[in-house]
Structures are given as C-alpha cells and as structure tokens.
Amino acid sequence: MAGVSSRPAVLVGVLHVDEPSLPRVRERILAQVDVDVTLVEVANLPERAAHARLYELFSTADPRFDALVKVDADMELVEPRLLAALGSLFRRHRGLDHVIVGVDDWFSGRRIQGMNAWRNGVRWTAPPPELFTDLPDNTVRTKLKVMDVGRPLVLHAADPSDLQAVRYGLHRGLKAVATGKASRLSRLVDVVDHAAAEPARGRLLAVAAIGLALRDDGAARTLLDATQHDATPSGTAGVATLSDEVADPDLCGRVRRDLTALTADAGSGPLATARTQPRGRARAVRGRIARALRRDGVADTSDRDRWRDDFLALLDGG
C-alpha cells in the first residue's frame, strides 16, 4: 500500500509529560514538507510504560506507513524535509531497518545520538528495560547512523525547563554509572565543560543532576522516578535541592573531578557496574548493549555508504 502515493507516509510518536517545549515540537513535526505525517502522542505515563506503549503502536502500525519515527518532547526538527527523506529512504532500500539521526545538543554543545527512525515492519519483542528504554529487543537487522550532514537537522533541548534539565542530567549520569563505559563518561565531561565555558541555569542544573547520579545512584533513581510529572511533590523538592547547587562556583570543577576518577576506573569497558549494581542487572545491561552492537554490524560499508548518499540527496529534494 505504501507505493500508492508518491509522497512517503510517516508515523511519528512523541512521548511527553506536557513539557513546555511540546508546542514547538508539534509545530515543527506538522510543518514538514513533501510527506504525509500522522502524529501520535503518548502522554503522562511513567517512562517505561510510555515506551512500551509507543513500541506497541509501532509494532502494529498500518502498512501504509513507510517509516516509524520517535521524537522526544525536547527535539525540534529544523530540517523541513527530514521526515520525507527518512520515509523515502526506507522505501528505496528494503534492507535498511533503522536510522539514527544526529541531534544538536544544547547541553553539551555537540552533535549527539540521536533521533530514531525505523522501517515499518520492525517489531519490538520484549518490554523496554529499566533506564535503557531506548535499547529494547527488536527485529532490527541493519542500522545507519547519520551524524554530520553539514547542517543541523534536529535541535535537542534548545530551551529546557528546570525539570527537563534535571532529567537530562539524571538520565545520562545514571546510564554512565550503570555501564561504566569510558565513552559515556567522556560525553558527560563534554556537558560539564560546556557548562563551565558557557554557564546557563539549565546547563548547571544538568551538571548538578549528573553529580547526584555519580555520588548516589539510588537517590538519583528515586528522583528520576519522582520527576515523571512536574507536580509530584518529591520531584519538585528534589529539583529545588539541585537548584541550590547552581550558585556553587565549584560545581563544574567538583563534578568533573568525580568524572575523572570514574573514567580512570572504567578504562574502555563496563567495569564500574560491579560497584554500582546487583550482579544480575549488570549482566543484563552488558548483554543488551552487546546485542545492540551485533545488530549494528550486519550491513557492510558499501551498503551504508549508499544509504547515506541517498539520504543526503533526499534531504535536498533528490
């Protein structure tokens, strides 16, 4: 059915808890050109439940959709042909299952992974794991990462609320502690250094939240759960406590020193997990990451080069 229309059809799912940025996110999605967009929203659910609902919707999507795209409530699509390019790319290349698009991250000042798009027909085969809700088991065989196309495609967290800033720091801090991977810790250093160089309330709040995750992952998990909704009293109190740290002139220096110490322990692998998690959870995290990496390695370089070249041409109307 997808071939009936010359315009690709894309199903976009947005998870949100009524973030202040949501109206801009919706506006940017609906302003996309040369594409038929259907927007579905999964609102005001706990994170794992929201992701489970979204993956269920994607797994049972109408066959007319060429692409299934997850857009977070802090992602603004600034490239007007992005969804059209993704939908057309999946139409043309039946062997491609998953595309990760780089996003320009306000917190770190860097382009990071990313916005996720899948071909229709991908199925999610297990519930999303705790914390790593973006790494569920699924039927993806091949993956393309498009990080740099010479211009921004998506802005990430361009104008965060206090709650969004805290959740950003908690999420990334907890993931780094859970895996112990030096690469994740290095990305946290980027956030801290950018906050030190270009201080703004949101960046400093994120750094304070990272610091909490590094020194007390239990308290950080509790606060993350409590910030599912802005009106949660314990969540509001936790955000207020972290807000007090913003005025500390040594905040960035202190968190950076903690990161340096953890990075020295971590080396190049997930060595910190034994310290911070029950053994079974640590094995589960490592296994999930290993499976994701295996899925990423199926397509050869020539396929990826061809897919990337076609994606760039499609962005320009080709």
Q: What is the pLDDT of residues 283-301, one digit of tens each?
A: 555 455 545 544 444 557 8
Which residue is listed with tokens 């800033």? Answer: 165
Interacting residues of 114 by C-beta distance below 8 A, sequence separation 6+: 100, 101, 102, 103, 145, 147
Please give the pLDDT value at position 270. Answer: 40
**Tokens in use for 258?**
């903690």
Q: Provide mean pLDDT across the span 89-98.
A: 96
Structure tokens at 69: 């795209």
Note whether 67 and 86 are within 8 A (CB): yes
Which residues are registered as beta bridge partners of 110?
Answer: 105
- pLDDT tens digit sequence for 174-195: 999 998 888 899 999 999 999 9
3-state DSSP call for residue 157? coil
Closest CA to 108 of 70, 144, 157: 157
Q: What letter does residue 198 receive in the DSSP assignment?
A: S
**Per-residue three-class SS string for 110-149:** EEEEEEEEEEECECECCCCCCCCCCCCCECCCCEEEECCC
Give the SS3 label for residue 222: helix
Using pLDDT thresholds of 50, 70 and 90, give the confidence band for residue 271: very low
Q: Are 113 and 145 in contact (CB under 8 A)?
A: yes
Q: Is 8 helix (H, G, I), strand (E, B) or coil?
A: coil
Tokens representing 31 are 């302003």
236 residue type, one letter: T
Tell me the average pLDDT across 10-37: 95
Say whether pLDDT at 116 is over 80.
yes
Cβ-contact 90, 66 below 8 angstroms? yes
Query: b/e map of 298-316 (b: 16 or more CB within 10 Å)?
Result: ebeeeebeebbebbeebbe
Report which residue type is found at 318. Answer: G
- According to the model, what pLDDT value does residue 13 have? 98
**What tens digit of pLDDT does each residue of 185-232 get?**
999 999 999 999 999 999 999 999 999 999 999 999 999 988 876 556
**∠ CA 301-302-305, rounded to 5°:** 85
Q: Tell me: the pLDDT tens digits for 35-77?
A: 999 999 999 888 889 999 999 999 999 999 999 999 999 999 9
String of b and e for 173-210 (b: at least 16 CB within 10 Å)? Answer: bbbbbbbbbbebbebbbebbbbbbeeeeebbbbbbbbb
For the record, the structure tokens of 96 come out as: 């491609």
The HSE-up count of residue 129 (CA atoms within 13 Å, CB side) is 18
The distance in angstroms from the start CA to the end CA of the chain is 22
Q: How far apart are CA 272 and CA 262, in angstroms?
A: 8
